[in-house]
Structure 1
């Protein structure tokens, strides 16, 4: 025998019926905190802030990055030659 029961209720009514806790207040707090953090981080992603951060490392960091990229290219070329 197969039975189908259809219940028409709101999510809040379903949570109450099943005995689940009401977490809407917690959800509102989490969403508010995420919005604050995203807004704070958006300022960091502005182009002028990115340039300030990148240039703050100086020439030494730029040279290290160039060396890292050169080593990666050399390694990939060596792997291609050995095949």
Structure 2
């Protein structure tokens, strides 16, 4: 009887994983985007070119920028 008690949660977990995977595949296939876009590296930065992202829907970039950390030092947000 104890063996069945261990199998039931496993079956439930596998069923939930399969359902979530199915939802993910359905969502991706029905997104309606003709061009999924691609990542291109330019000047040391990776940039998404193409795709269904509308720049008007993205939040604006922060107005102030921090100076880059010197080589071998942690950025300011890691220092305490």
- The answer, yes or no, to whether TM exceeds 0.5 is no
Place the TM-score, normalised by the shorter chain, in its bin.
0.3 to 0.5
Bigger Rg, which one: 1
- Larger helix proportion, structure 1 or 2? 1
- Larger strand proportion, structure 1 or 2? 2
Normalised to the residue count of structure 1, the TM-score between the two structures is 0.35
Normalised to the residue count of structure 2, the TM-score between the two structures is 0.36
